[in-house]
Amino acid sequence: MDIYTELAAAIRRVFPVSRLEPINAEQLATELRDHPDAPHDYFEFLQRVGWGSLGNSYFMIYSGLIGPQEIFDPATAAELTGVLLLGDDFSGWSVGFDTQAGWRLVGTDHGAEPHPIEQRSLSEYIARLVADAEPDAGSI
């Protein structure tokens, strides 16, 4: 089994009411065209694990990258220049890529200045969320 297969199985086990669906070919082509420098893992995750909701309201993975202006007011969005968001926790914590820092994974709370997060990829980040929700299960 590879990391994406294992991760999808862990998500189904820990968050059985998750609603994830693989990105379709048209959406993928648009994302690849619009963001050719985005990390390969991001596209692989969307294809193999999917986008949507982990659990009822644990974390939402968007179907594509979005600019901060699609979520935040203009002043807050201006503070997030270069950041493309990929998901949020339904409570103000957003995760995305800082395109001006080599597409590093960053987090921001209610649009505050983004800071790097420990995980280096979307799949690592989601694996950490799953492991944190099931602490006795070990790592994925």
CB-hemisphere CA count at 13 Å for 15?
Answer: 22
| CB distance 20 to 51 below 8 Å | yes
* pLDDT of res. 140: 54
* pLDDT of res. 111: 84
| CB distance 68 to 29 below 8 Å | no
* pLDDT of res. 61: 98
Which helix (H) or strand (E) covers residue 80, if one does? none
CA–CA separation, 37 vs 99, rounded Å? 9
> Could you list the pLDDT tens digit for every one of the 140 residues in the chain?
799 999 999 999 999 999 999 999 999 999 999 999 999 999 999 999 999 999 999 999 999 999 999 999 999 999 999 999 999 999 999 999 999 999 999 999 998 899 999 999 999 999 999 999 986 655 55
| CB distance 78 to 49 below 8 Å | no
* pLDDT of res. 135: 63
Q: What is the dihedral of CA 129, 131, 136, 140, to 10 degrees?
A: 170
pTM: 0.92
* pLDDT of res. 59: 98
Q: What is the dihedral of CA 27, 101, 77, 26, to 10 degrees?
A: 0
| CB distance 75 to 65 below 8 Å | no
55: three-class secondary structure by DSSP: coil
